[in-house]
Structure 1
């Protein structure tokens, strides 16, 4: 009978330890970072959408690894014309995005993203991020990639 009670106590301790969720009272939502781009004339530095050379309805963002389009947003308020790609990094993935305007590829954007969990929250680690086939500057204070384009 003593063995029975001892086993019951061990089982109850084990079950209570398994049901103790230390993260149940933690609120956290850690979306992946979005990527923001401004396309400017290489010669003048003028935004190509604000100047009317490019039209935002002509933008396409396609993952060249699987030929699927990727979601993006175009911000055009208060004379700010920016392309924002927010759909990368929700899962562990590698993307090579071709960003085109009017069918012409303006630049490629490569991201190796890894979705991780720790301290009761999920988050994204970007193992590699690169802009290819275009000259650019990255402003770490604003998070904006300025892409220099020679308009046709």
Structure 2
């Protein structure tokens, strides 16, 4: 009975820390912006094009199509034969993003998204009009990764 009491008490304490409760600590319900991750795979074999050596991460070029003076921030993640391009810092403020992603001189795709930062007691970012243009892609919802299907024959 004593264990049940402590269990219920613990649940009650944690349930009071939510964004809906008036006067809650805003740090407890702060939500940072999402990252956008892309895996470039062969359209036919679905093989990762960085892992198989078709592309080199040093050749990644991400251009801001709206303002060439701004640098598009990204990281290249290479772990366990999974190589991803991750766009970060989108949505810390209200903004519209228009990027072109190329590997060397090969245009791979364009990425567009509108981010609206909501600064309230529970700050978060709302995304709309997300578009991935000039390519075919699949969304792996479990991993939150967009698989960009690249035609390596052209």
Range into which the TM-score falls when normalised by the shorter chain: 0.7 to 0.9
Aligned residue in 1 for 2:36: 35
CA contact 2:51–2:83 (8 Å) conserved in 1: yes
**Shift in Å at residue 41 of structure 1?**
0.9
Q: Distance in 1 between matches of 2:86 and 2:76?
A: 6
> Secondary structure of 2:123's partner?
strand
Give structure 1 stretches of 5+ with no counterpart.
1-21
- The TM-score, its normalising length taken from structure 1, stands at 0.79
Aligned residue in 1 for 2:9: none
Deviation track 1:66-100 (CA, whole Å, cap 9, x = no partner) reads 12321111111111111111121111000111011
CA contact 1:70–1:87 (8 Å) conserved in 2: no
| Count of residues in correspondence between the two structures | 131
Q: List structure 1 segments (4+ residues) > 2 angstroms apart after TM superposition.
A: 22-29
Alignment of 1:1-80 (within 5 A): 22=23, 26-67=27-68, 68-80=70-82
Deviation track 1:86-143 (CA, whole Å, cap 9, x = no partner) reads 121111000111011113220001001100123x121100022110000001121211
Aligned residue in 1 for 2:3: none
Aligned residue in 2 for 1:99: 101
**Shift in Å at residue 145 of structure 1?**
0.4
CA contact 2:136–2:149 (8 Å) conserved in 1: yes
Give structure 2 stretches of 5+ with no counterpart.
1-22
Aligned residue in 2 for 1:117: 119
CA contact 1:30–1:122 (8 Å) conserved in 2: yes
RMSD: 1.8
Higher-Rg member (1/2): 1
CA contact 1:114–1:124 (8 Å) conserved in 2: yes
CA contact 2:26–2:122 (8 Å) conserved in 1: no
